Amino acid sequence: MDRGVPGASALREHARRKHNREQTRQAHPHIGGLLLALRDEPQHEQAFLRGARGEAAVAGSLEARTSDGPTVLLHDRRMPRGRGNIDHLAISPNGIFVIDAKDWKGKVSVSTPLLGKPKLLADGRDRTKRVDGLDRQVAAVESALGDAAQSWPIQGVFCFTKADLPMLGLGTTKIRSHLLLYRKALAKRLNASGPFTTAQIDAMARVLAGAFPPA
């Protein structure tokens, strides 16, 4: 079973974009070289590098904190029909966790207006589209499992490495049905006892590894 490499696809995309940008220097040595000298690495390149680092940080922490238990972790899995990636899948004694790793900084909160849907805010920016993405990932796992999804609880999670989650002291923060957790709190859930045996966890991990191959 290939458990995948955390952040591998994000690193490849970062390298591809950086390579394409640097081709400008070769195609237009005078103008291109000046542009590259005056401009830092574009934000879209930096985003993929930060994403890869966040995935690696979450994976390293969860692997270390769950190493003594039966939980199986799969990393950087490809969604069906090229619809993006799942950062991590965790198959634990109490169910399946679909994990979106976030290396965001600043305060993260859930805004619940009187009219309209809840919004995920990070450092003052609306990041609700990320919730739509996690919705799709959870739905893809449910679809892949078919009837087995009735027996296995499937939980979406945003796992943060640096962000400030002030609401956690007052109770678990959620948006829609997805949890907002730090790595330690998520590992605690993965280590909690549940109805699924080591053999069942391993079998389900192999099913999901086949349905969602490494990206």
- Give the C-alpha separation, 110 to 118, whole Å: 7
pTM: 0.84
Kindly give the confidence (pLDDT) of every residue in the chain, 215 residues in length, as a single tens digit, with 9 standing for 90 and above.
Answer: 999 999 888 777 767 777 776 776 666 566 555 555 545 666 766 777 877 888 999 999 999 999 999 999 999 999 998 778 999 999 999 999 999 999 998 999 898 888 888 999 999 899 999 999 999 999 999 999 999 999 999 999 999 999 998 655 444 589 999 999 999 999 999 999 999 999 999 999 999 999 999 99
Q: What is the CA radius of gyration of the chain?
A: 19
b/e map of 85-121 (b: 16 or more CB within 10 Å)?
bbbbbbbbbbbbbbbbbbbbeeebbbeeeeeeeeebb
Cα–Cα–Cα angle for 18, 19, 21, rounded to 5 degrees: 65
Looking up tokens 């969602």 gives 212
Q: Would the CA dihedral through 97, 102, 106, 110 be positive or negative?
A: negative
